[in-house]
A and B are shown apart, each in its own frame.
Chain A
């Protein structure tokens, strides 16, 4: 794989030890107003997306099937790419610096694995998933969606910024195929209850029972592989898991 000048520039700001970008250069505040106008380039429709610019080796018959909504610093996204080498996964992140970190991280990983061609199946988009999912994905395209440690937006006035709400569940159901799965994880019990209530009441979702949820091979990865998840484990917090099937 030929590295471009841009990739070389990135690599000089990486740690000499790991060869990966250092998070301290990419710190950004956790909260963002998803309803405000941000500066995004977004496609008018899925047909207009140049997927090759995100996945240089993507084949014509391949398309994105897993989406990590609010992928943060990309820990889980990387794990997803390793667990499912044949699937194309995407991370969506609204914050400028954080999405840039993930892009740099993926570039560095690809470079390091240029012999095996690994990590060609993950990419990060800086976008507002609450508004633009139908712009990127056609009806029923996605097989799995992940909402891991979403911003709880504690104040009641900010509840409408929560990534799971009734109106948005219909939009997520549109891009998810029948039988597709939604994975939610949080350490905030109030938010977990909010999510479960809304999804239980939405006619297009049914919750997986505990046995089904625990036998999914992805489930153990949800706890540790995202940066937020690891932080919760370090601080001995609680994990609240809910997995739903799109009917």
Chain B
């Protein structure tokens, strides 16, 4: 996984065992975090998560990560999955795969300071702080959503809710009244908080996995899906307000608020399409009325390399992916989709050299799509034939 995002003024890239914080303009590295090859050396223990009231621990065994005290046993790679800042930038959280853990850092002052490291049951799929940074939600590929306290930094995680398939994204409402999650079963679920056993509403309508969510206003969210649509919802009542057709399935979405109030930039990474990224301008014309007012497609040389992620700044798009199994980073101008100029020579090489250079294979996203196969027609055919035979026997 190659995480990349822009948290003004830093461009953050997480890959392998490193997180780099860069100035996107002159490409200086502000700071970096490097994880040791074995997380037990910074205090990772394997402990069963404590269930929240009303949620007994699931009985399926949660195998501890393959850690053994003695050397010469199973060596599991540490690789960074998700990285996110708290809204006030004071805290940074990251999750790892291989040895699965949630790490919490104090991000100011200069060098990020590790506050805690706690085990994770399964590799994470999404990560999000609440508005005041007091806790962070981690969702995983079986659909469970855990809360890790960031005030009691060593508190065990609490299982808050579960979907029946992988959860691709998670949001908190600003007032922390709701948690919004989206999954592979086309569902967007709005759950009460802290009474997370009580589902408030669903936003139903998508016909394929929902890969991304973003908060627009106190009552509105936008979602992106493999069904080739962007949709705006009033999530408090589950009402769909806008459906915008996309040229291809969407596998990642980023939203930035723009200067004139009620306008947003929505960028979407496409699956298997001639253009890699679509950038849309979204406007709220009245409280419940939204529309897309402009579209910009960015080819980003799709097809020549395997694109997995991207980040947006005011004028540039930073795209990560793999070329010949090597992590590659390319930068495009967001106004015209051309390769960006003005980057110092050798910068990309320097950044990539700084990250792990093991073979990089982005995840195969074809598995996200539902396998639709027909196990009914064959049965009905055989049934029809059986009935016809019986008819003939009766008549014959």
Checking B191, B204, B375 against A39 with a beta-carbon cut-off of 8 angstroms, the contacting residue is: B375
B376 touches A39 (CB 8 A): yes
Known: A156-B61, A202-B197. A45 touches B204 (CB 8 A): yes
Is A38 a contact of B375 with CB atoms below 8 Å? yes
Asked, given contacts A131-B164, A131-B185, whether A96 binds B375 with beta carbons under 8 Å apart, the answer is yes
Which of B59, B373, B374, B390 is A159 in contact with, Cβ under 8 Å?
Answer: B59
A96 adjacent to B164 (CB under 8 Å): no
B109 within 8 A of A: no
Complex contact B375–A160 (CB within 8 A): no
Q: How far is the CB of B387 from chain A (nearest CB, A)?
A: 5
How far apart sit A126 and B380, CA to CA, in the bound complex (Å)?
A: 14
Given contacts A97-B379, A157-B60, contact A25 B386 (CB under 8 A): yes
Q: By the criterion CB–CB under 8 Å, are B204 and A44 in contact?
A: yes
> Which of the residues B165, B195, B387 comes within 8 Å of A35, measured between beta carbons?
B165
CB distance from B229 to the nearest CB of A (A): 11
Which one, A116-124, A162-170, A232-240, is touching chain B? A162-170
- 197-218 of chain B: CB within 8 A of chain A: 197-199, 201-202, 204-207
Other-chain contact of A9, B54, B198, B387, B394 (Cβ < 8 Å): B387
Asked if B53 is an interface residue, CB under 8 A from chain A, the answer is yes
Distance in angstroms between the alpha carbons of A100 and B204 in the assembled complex: 28
Complexed CA–CA distance, A35 and B86 (Å)? 34
What residues on A are CB-neighbors of B387 within 8 Å?
Answer: 9-10, 12-13
Interface 1/0s, chain B 136-178, versus A by CB < 8 A?
Answer: 0000001110000000000000010111110000000000000
Between A and B, how many residue pairs show CB distances below 8 Å? 106
Does B244 sit at the interface, judged by CB under 8 A? no
Q: Cβ of B163 and Cβ of A167 under 8 Å apart? A: yes
C-alpha spacing A157/B62, complex, angstroms: 10
**Contact present for A44 and B186 (CB under 8 Å):** yes
Assess A171 versus B59: contact at CB under 8 Å? Given A12-B387, A44-B204, A202-B54: no
Interface assignment of A134: CB less than 8 Å from any CB of chain B: yes
Q: Which of A193-237 contact B (CB under 8 A)?
A: 194, 197-198, 201-204
Count how many chain A residues have C-beta atoms less than 8 Å from C-beta atoms of the other chain: 43
B-side binding surface: helix, strand, loop or mixed? loop
Contact call A139/B201, Cβ cutoff below 8 A: yes
Is A135 among interface residues, defined by CB-CB distance under 8 A? yes
B49 to chain A, nearest CB (A): 13
Cβ–Cβ contact B386 & A13, under 8 A: yes
Q: From A134, A165, A170, give the contact of B58 (CB < 8 A).
A: A165
On chain A, the residues within 8 Å of B185 by CB distance are 131-132
B384 near A: Cβ within 8 Å? yes
User: Is A37 on the interface with B (CB-CB < 8 A)?
Assistant: yes
Contacts of A46 in B (CB 8 A): 204
- Judged by a CB distance under 8 angstroms, whether A146 is at the interface is no
Query: Are B386 and A96 neighbours in the complex by a CB distance under 8 Å?
Result: no
* CB-nearest residue of chain B to A139: B201
A204 x B201 contact (CB < 8 A): no
Inside 8 A of A165's CB, which chain B residues have their CB? 58, 162
B52 and chain A: residue at smallest CB distance: A166
CB of A173 closer than 8 Å to a CB of B: yes
Nearest CB to that of A203 among chain B residues? B54
Closest CB-CB distance, A53 to chain B, in whole Å? 16
Interface residues of A in 138-194 (CB under 8 A from B): 139, 156-157, 159-160, 165-171, 173-174, 194
Assess whether A39 is in contact with B372, with CB atoms less than 8 Å apart. Answer: yes
Q: How far is the CA of A25 from the CA of B186 in the complex (A)?
A: 35
Q: Is A64 an interface residue (CB 8 A)?
A: no
Q: Say whether A130 faces chain B, with CB atoms less than 8 Å apart.
A: yes
**Contact in complex: A100, B383 (CB < 8 Å):** yes
| B187 & A134 in contact (Cβ 8 Å cutoff) | yes
**In the complex the two chains form, what is the Cα distance from A11 to B165 in whole Å?**
40
B144 — nearest CB in chain A belongs to which residue?
A167
Does any Cβ of A come within 8 Å of B370's Cβ? yes
Residue from the set B59, B159, B163 with the largest chain A CB neighbour count within 10 Å: B59
| CB-nearest residue of chain A to B378 | A96
Contact in complex: A197, B376 (CB < 8 Å): no
Name the distance in Å between B243's Cβ and chain A's nearest Cβ: 11
Separation of A167 and B373 alpha carbons in the complex (Å): 27
The 8 Å CB contact of A170, one of B161, B379, B384, is B161
B108 at the interface (CB under 8 A from A): no
What is the bound-complex CA distance between A49 and B387, given in angstroms? 30
For B335, the chain A residues whose CB sits under 8 A away are none
B56 in the interface, Cβ–Cβ < 8 Å?
yes
B interface residues (Cβ-Cβ under 8 A, vs A): 53-56, 58-61, 142-144, 159, 161-165, 185-187, 191, 195-199, 201-202, 204-207, 370-376, 379-380, 383-384, 386-387, 390-391, 394
Q: Given A12-B387, A13-B386, 16 other A-B contacts at CB below 8 A?
A: A35-B164, A37-B371, A39-B374, A39-B375, A39-B376, A44-B186, A46-B204, A96-B375, A97-B379, A134-B204, A167-B144, A167-B161, A171-B199, A173-B199, A174-B202, A202-B197
Q: List 5 A-B contacts (CB under 8 A).
A: A13-B383, A13-B387, A97-B379, A166-B54, A170-B199
**A interface residues with partner B (beta carbon < 8 Å):** 9-10, 12-13, 25, 34-35, 37-39, 44-46, 96-97, 100, 126, 130-132, 134-135, 139, 156-157, 159-160, 165-171, 173-174, 194, 197-198, 201-204
